[in-house]
Amino acid sequence: MQLFERCLRQYEKLRKREAFLDQFKKVAIFKDSLDEFDASREVLQQLVDEYAAATTPEYINWGSQQVSPTFGILIIVF
Model pLDDT, residue 62: 81
Between 1 and 7, the higher pLDDT residue: 7
Q: Cα separation of 47 and 53, whole Å?
A: 10
Could you give all domains of the chain from N- to C-terminal order, each with its CATH number? 2-76 (1.10.287.600)
Between 63 and 56, the higher pLDDT residue: 56
Model pLDDT, residue 75: 45
Cα-based distances in Å from 32 to 10, 21, 22, 41: 23, 12, 12, 18
pLDDT tens figures, 9-59: 999 999 999 999 999 999 998 888 999 999 999 999 999 999 999 999 888
